[in-house]
Structure 1
Amino acid sequence: MDYKGEPVTEKTDFSEFCKFVREDPNARKICMSSDAYGSIQAAVTKKTHIYICPCGLVEIAIPIVINGHYLGGFIGGQINCPDVPNDISIPSLKNVMKQDEKILRESSKLISKTNKISYKELISISELVSLIITQMAKNKMLKIKENKEIKENLETLKEKRKLTEIKYNLKEVQLKIIRSQLQSHFLYNCLNSISNMAIIEEAEKTNEIVVKFSEYLRLAFENKKTSIKMSEELQTVDDYLKIQKIRFGDKLDYKIILDDNLKNQKIPYYTIMPFVEDAVVYGIIPKVDKGTIEINVSGVKEDIIIVIKNNGIIISEEDKIVLNNYYKENKDYKFEIENVEKRFLEAFGKDYDIKREKGSNKETTITIKYPKTYKEEVFLNV
């Protein structure tokens, strides 16, 4: 029972007499009121309470008190105790909550079958039951407390583990940044030395390609943003194409067209380059005659349109692998292109899917479209 006298567990081991009485709805209410009385008395006094129920049987209400806190009570008994003291020390509910005389008459034979014990035995049993119930409750509370502490300790360990992983990852990132900076400084110094050597030896083309490559690397290494200015993105492309122009001479021509009012337009970093590299390596270089690449950037309403055209050949994926082996090329342009396409699709939606078309004049056209205004955050998780 709880502190209000309401039952919180199923009733068990009822005597045949009590079962018969409680079949009557009105009698059952009186019996439940009797149970509530015993439970409340035990809750208030925090002591075992013995009393006589409305049917004349002895009941015991044992409080469950742990560390001074009342947790509930145990109601038991239904005992026929002939020598129970007939004074105010043992309250009787027979005159307060009267049961129907007819029900009592009909059940008179059953009451004789209820357990009979002496008052002294009753006290001993109640003390033993009280001890057992209190100990069981203490064990249960201790178990609950231990489980709670174990759960809290596990949560603490999980948080500490997460914090340790974050710190470890942070150190890894810091180490990678330091290595990247060291590598970039080393490369700049090496390229500067090569450039100086080319000037001394009057190797103009070598010096030009080294300078352009240095500029290309500087933009690649120093950029830490998800988006850059259109002019910066195209400068990287221009440096790359100039290097290829020096390598292949008249075999490659290119043109970059950009409106002045779009120079400061932001663009997701490394958007154009993968398509240009793919066109040069797999379209222009294997081509027998001259190849051209044209990049046109324009604004149409609320969007930016980038059109990349080239008249290079189209080769299969198998032939690309052969070319990579021939030129000792380890870069995966297909992966980079797919990465750009995925980033645009996830950030801007299906309306901004990158399109590739092959014209009747054997010219390949790549069309990249994206909104003029967008939030930088859209590229942080893609």
Structure 2
Amino acid sequence: MNKTDKTLKDFVDSNLYSRYSGLLSLSNISVQLVDTQGEILLEFNPSPDFCKLICQQDERRVCSDYICKLEPGKGDRFTCRHGLSNIVLPVDFNDQTVGYVVGAQVYSPESEHRKYLIDIMALAKEKNLEPEFIAKSISAIKTIEESKVDIHEQLCNHIAKNISYDFSESLQNTDTAIARLSIEKEMLEKKILDLEAKNMSLVVNPHFLFNTLNTIARIAYFEKSHTTEELIYCLSDLLRYNLKQDDELHTIGAEIDNIDKYLYIQKKRFRNRLEYEIDIADSVKPHRIPNMIIQPMVENALIHGITPKRDGGKIKIYAEKYKDDIHIFVVDNGNGFPKEVLQSLQQPENKLGIGFRSTDKRLKRYFGEDYGLKVVKSDYSGSTVKISISTKPNARR
């Protein structure tokens, strides 16, 4: 990896992840940023299981069909060996390609029939996977109208150009984070309005509330009320993300980014009564988890643990990876869950425990009976909730 690629990777790690997540929460089509060698630097929207776990030789590197299309300065729209539509768009800096925005990985109505031509038994033997898992992965690949893919390509192209601009600005260090955020938000909003004017809507049309919030945020920016601006953008992104709730797996990184915004807002509300720490390694973030699993546990920690304490407390979220398992911990130093709440978690007829048990069942459905949700500790020194998942594909059968 040359020096420029390394700088791009550092830029991604330190700045980029949350910049576009709010916008792309409106779309459920995959988008990734890769370097010139095809290494995945960042997943905005995750790839289908079929692409990530079967076609790719490595979860951190795009498949060989993509590698062949990574030509400096050239964008492409192509169909892979299995019939999926794909997009490749270069990220250029000083006449040099430093990376690519890639994505789509969907069938069109015209090519959908090709999913039935895939030799499942041959793939199962080659990849040492259960045929049922491969069949399920194939059936989960989305079929998207061509016009929607066209919109997605335009958005990806716009993002690629913005990354080029932001990358240049970050090297020159001539702009502040808040100013770049405001400029970028305004440019993306104008792009959405332009696409809507062409009668090509996104998966979810921008809500009146989002437009209002962003208008207020721009006013706050010009009035130099930067804290107000950041709060409004956080709330807007939270609402977008929460509206896009389906039964798909999201990256842990996307879930954590959403939680970070939630806790940022709560911190402004509770001030010095709330402290929080998030310690999730970059190697853990690309792995996937059912949506809205972690945030309810964080809310429980805040409501039942921190809020009742006169002096407040601290919430910490961290993860441990051991072989093929990932354990995510939500820890607080509050008063612990009330006795009736703890009892409700063990009583099916008690409505208080329904959310906890349904979350546990969702995890078991995706990853198996050895995984799920567990209250590790809850007493007057605080509570610890453990979320266990697997990175193994056959655990998601």
Shorter-chain-normalised TM-score: which range? 0.3 to 0.5
**Which structure shows the bigger proportion of residues in helix conformation?**
1
Q: TM-score, normalised by structure 2?
A: 0.42
